[in-house]
Structure 1
Amino acid sequence: MQTEQTKSIQVKGLQKSYKQLQVLKGVDFEVEKGSIFALLGSNGAGKTTVVKILATLLKSDAGTAIIHGFDVASKPDHVRQAISLTGQFAAVDEILTGRENLIMIAKLRYLENPRQIADDMLQRFGLTEAADRRVSSYSGGMRRRLDIALSLIGNPQILFLDEPTTGLDPEARIEVWKVVKKLADSGTTVLLTTQYLEEAEQLADNIAILHEGTIIASGTLPELKKLFPSAKAEYVEKQPTLEEIFLAIVGKKEGK
């Protein structure tokens, strides 16, 4: 039986409306410490709204969210100390070099030895050779790796990645996947929002499907596969892909 201490994130009954549009209609999920949790959904499903609430950038209308033991609504400062957020577009300064970007963030966070921190991050994310080049010359995958490195300065326990591979080519996307896997292996909890089904399939320990403001299915990939009709025996038994599971579950919901 799981104890409360193993949970990094606990979300219950989260609701949010913009004027007449109800974006979140009661969202519930939990994320285990040191795991990768994928919030999967189409554009407009409410994924970014969930992340903004958890990152203390937006207030919910109802429900609770507990991050690292702290209530998001009543203890936002404590929550901010435990988290970091990487949005859909790389938040790097293109005029500065990779090294200068990292040193700047370390100084803004009042950390000791900002140059050493920068060197460590450059090595960790495979950017040492490009360290003294302007970021404007970086490829998309390099910028995204630098962006994640910037997010990790100060060692946050929880990292929110909001559609981190949007706009990246397949090779750069795989680069980012490797980085995310290493983060979870080192004990960082990762909440990942994505509309790329393969991304959730490759990375996530647990997946929740957000559709029209509610979680309509959640679990591990094998658990979600059990929700799919039995595999047909043709020449070989074919296991359903996450894409087939997603479309079947969403289709069932829309057909009601």
Structure 2
Amino acid sequence: PKVLFLDEPTIGLDPQTRARIWGFLHEMRKNEGTTLFLTTHYMEEAENCDRLAIIDRGEIAALDTPARLKAEIGGDSVLIETENDAEALLEIEGSFGLIARKEENGLNLVVESGSTFLPELFRKLKVPVKHVSMRSPSLEDVFLQVTGKAIRQEAPESAFARHRRRHRR
């Protein structure tokens, strides 16, 4: 078909079957030029889209490529655990002009590019580092920022109930 509409095509399926379905859909797009419209709550599946719309309460809240949507919400999150987090906090703020947030397991800061920042941090930081991790924004981060609620969190009133209430006479 030229256009195929799919509503949650892999919900409730095991990972192997989900992978097979996505393989089939990729082949269909590539070989037959089929345009796919689909709904999904699986953000890793939404990564497969050329364009992605986040819908909140029946309205399009964001529309772009997955990469651009993620780029819009900020840089990489870096978590650093050191021998002395209080001293490291002062060094980071002084040397890099960044605001680091003290957390239970270290210092958290957002930087434009973690892979560029970390080597520079290791060169300048005098406090010994015990652990470091870096995470780029995900589509789940985008969803939460755009909608302000968790993916599985239900609104107090369902969309169907709102529709019925509005259209009653």
Give the deviation of 1:198 after TM superposition. 1.2
2:40 maps to 1:194? yes
2:91 maps to 1:246? no
1:183 is aligned, of 9, 28, 33, to: 28
For 2:4 and 2:134, the matched residues in 1 are separated by 38
**Structure 1: 4+ residue segments shifted above 6 A:** none
One-letter amino acid of the counterpart of residue 199, structure 1: E
Higher-Rg structure is 2
Write out per-residue CA displacement over residues 84-135 of structure 1, whole angstroms, 9 at most, x where no aligned residue.
Answer: xxxxxxxxxxxxxxxxxxxxxxxxxxxxxxxxxxxxxxxxxxxxxxxxxxxx
- Give runs of aligned pairs for residues 96-107 of structure 1, distance below 5 A: none
Q: Match of 1:240, SS?
A: coil
Q: Match of 1:167, SS?
A: coil
Structure 1, gaps ≥5 residues long: 1-155
Residue 84 of structure 2 aligns with which residue? none
- Give runs of aligned pairs for residues 52-63 of structure 1, distance below 5 A: none
One-letter amino acid of the counterpart of residue 242, structure 1: L
Give the deviation of 1:157 after TM superposition. 0.7
| Alignment coverage as a number of residue pairs | 97
Give the deviation of 1:224 after TM superposition. 0.4
Write out per-residue CA displacement over residues 23-44 of structure 1, whole angstroms, 9 at most, x where no aligned residue.
Answer: xxxxxxxxxxxxxxxxxxxxxx
* Greater relative CO (CA pairs within 8 A, separation 6+): 1
Identity %: 42
For 2:142 and 2:70, the matched residues in 1 are separated by 7
Give the deviation of 1:218 after TM superposition. 1.0
Cα RMSD over matched residues?
Answer: 1.9
- Relative to structure 1, is the Cα distance of residues 157 and 251 closer, same or farther in structure 2, using a 3 angstrom cutoff? same
Q: Match of 2:76, SS?
A: coil
For 1:208 and 1:185, the matched residues in 2 are separated by 22
For 1:173 and 1:215, the matched residues in 2 are separated by 26
For 2:50 and 2:140, the matched residues in 1 are separated by 17
- Give runs of aligned pairs for residues 6-85 of structure 1, distance below 5 A: none
2:64 maps to 1:219? yes
Q: Is the 8 A contact 2:71 2:137 kept in 1?
A: no
For 2:70 and 2:22, the matched residues in 1 are separated by 22
Q: Is the 8 A contact 2:56 2:147 kept in 1?
A: yes
Q: Match of 2:140, SS?
A: helix
Q: Match of 2:13, SS?
A: coil
Higher mean displacement: 156-165 or 227-236: 227-236
Give the deviation of 1:232 after TM superposition. 2.6
Q: Match of 2:135, SS?
A: coil
Give the deviation of 1:236 after TM superposition. 5.0
For 2:28 and 2:8, the matched residues in 1 are separated by 16
Residue 167 of structure 1 aligns with which residue? 12
One-letter amino acid of the counterpart of residue 50, structure 2: D
Give the deviation of 1:246 after TM superposition. 1.0
For 1:165 and 1:240, the matched residues in 2 are separated by 24
Write out per-residue CA displacement over residues 200-219 of structure 1, whole angstroms, 9 at most, x where no aligned residue.
Answer: 11x21111001101100111
